[in-house]
Amino acid sequence: MSIHELIEKEIKRQRETLMLIPSENYTYPEVRAAVGSPLMHKYSEGYIGKRYYQGNEIIDEIEGLAIESAKKLFGVPHANVQPYSGSPANSAVLMGLLNPGDVIMGLNLSSGGHLTHGHPTITFSGKFFKSIQFGISKDGTFNFEEIENLVKQEKPKLLILGTTAFPRVLDFEKFASVFPKDVILVADISHIVGLVIAGEHPSPVPYFDVITTTTHKMLKGPRGAMIMVTKNGLQKDADMGKKIDKAVFPGLQGGPHDNTTAGIALALEKAGSSEYKSYAHQVVLNAQSLSSKLISLGFELVTGGTDNHLLLIDLRNMNVTGKEAAVALEKAGIVTNANSVPFDDKGPFNPSGIRMGTPAVTARGMKEQEMEKIALWIHEVVQSIADDNKLGEIRTKVISLCEAFPVDF
């Protein structure tokens, strides 16, 4: 089978399934055109006005547009749009601002944190730095007294705070208050970036020093990332932006992907619109509607619901593992991912939970009544996990729903 035929099969799969993985989304036709454009032919090592190769006059303008859009949207004085993805962006911040062996703090993986936030032994952030991890309490909240005591005991040089599977609002102001003024505060808002832009989630910009984010989740852009330095960050260290820029290039990367930079600029432009704000608001409404219906059907949700775009189901009361549920749901045309839950008694390859979110189904135009229908199907799947005939029946219904809300490819 040719690459072209495989691409067509993947397009068909995306059209006919419900994309509920919260880190996936449908981008804009203009962004796809930019990413597939002849901009990919150019090499542009360096930064605006300081390239190592000739022929970058137009590329400088494109990167400048992306930078200025980021600075305006977030209200920051410095932005770098060259990181290839979220993990390289976080590694550049740590490399640019720390020395090997420095103490960092971050949210642990089972509480909804990210591997690059200091997960021990298997990531750069856990290997090259002394990582101190904290988690959420059994009631799904943060014990700030315990975190403050941990800070006093371990004396971290940097906090990197962000989530991949935490369904509640992060109180950036409160977190900033429990760390000494000399600690570098980094917020990874990859999952909630669209909510922050639209005012659906508090912004870390007034309280933190550095902001990192991917551009391909709720932002609906290409697969890339950004690093921003706030006024607080530059007041703490006037060279903070320069140090991070040097860590991105030449520290960790070669030339930027200029086609991706153009896609980021387009996505940022659209994120400033009233239409995007309406979209972000509906993402939250849909997540809450899906959450409420699942709870009414007997599902246990981590923290008991959601404030944002995602929810995490603890399936232990259903006597089904997260992997079993995710595989069965995929057969029914509902695409989620198995995920650890707090205080999980199972391993990461077959955890107790499934994670799902509403950015992509909202991008298709679905609203609360569709979320209730999807919740009913999820319940049917979990109740009929080994019944392929039943899963096939649900898949037929899913395809009909998807046809009613087509994707623009």
Closest CA to 134 of 116, 150, 115: 150
Q: For residue range 36-91, what is the model confidence (pLDDT) as tens digits? A: 999 999 999 999 999 999 999 999 999 999 999 999 999 999 999 999 999 999 99
Q: Which two tokens stand for residue 110?
A: 């089972």
Q: How many CA atoms lie within 13 A of 121 on its CB side?
A: 0
The catalytic residue positions are 43, 45, 188, 214, 217, 223
Q: For residue range 298-336, what is the model confidence (pLDDT) as tens digits? A: 999 999 999 999 999 999 999 999 999 999 999 999 999
Contacts of 280 (CB under 8 A, 6+ apart): 194, 195, 197, 198, 200, 218
Q: Which two tokens stand for residue 245?
A: 């820029």
Closest CA to 277 of 218, 237, 325, 336: 218
DSSP 169: -
DSSP string covering 68-105, please?
Answer: HHHHHHHT-SEEE---SSHHHHHHHHHHHH--TT-EEE
Q: Where are the alpha helices (DSSP H) in 178-312?
A: 193-198, 231-236, 240-246, 258-271, 274-296
Sign of CA dihedral 395, 400, 401, 402: positive
CATH of domain 3-21+274-404: 3.90.1150.10
Architecture of domain 37-271: 3-Layer(aba) Sandwich (3.40)
Q: Are 308 and 195 in contact (CB under 8 A)?
A: yes
Instruction: Tell me the C-alpha distance between 32 and 36, whole Å.
Output: 6
What distance, in Å, lies between the first and last C-alpha atoms of the chain?
21
User: Which backbone phi and psi does 238 adopt, to 5 degrees?
Assistant: -60, -20
Q: Where are the domains of the chain?
A: 3-21+274-404, 37-271
Closest CA to 375 of 309, 308, 313: 313
Instruction: Tell me the C-alpha distance between 117 and 352, whole Å.
Output: 22
Q: Are 376 and 41 in contact (CB under 8 A)?
A: no
pLDDT in tens, the chain (409 residues): 999 999 999 999 999 999 999 999 999 999 999 999 999 999 999 999 999 999 999 999 999 999 999 999 999 999 999 999 999 999 999 999 999 999 999 998 778 788 888 788 788 888 899 998 999 888 889 999 999 999 999 999 999 999 989 999 999 999 999 999 999 999 999 999 999 999 999 999 999 999 999 999 999 999 999 999 999 999 999 999 999 999 999 999 999 999 999 999 999 999 999 999 999 999 999 999 999 999 999 999 999 999 999 999 999 999 999 999 999 999 999 999 999 999 888 877 889 999 999 999 999 999 999 999 999 999 999 999 999 999 999 999 999 999 999 998 8
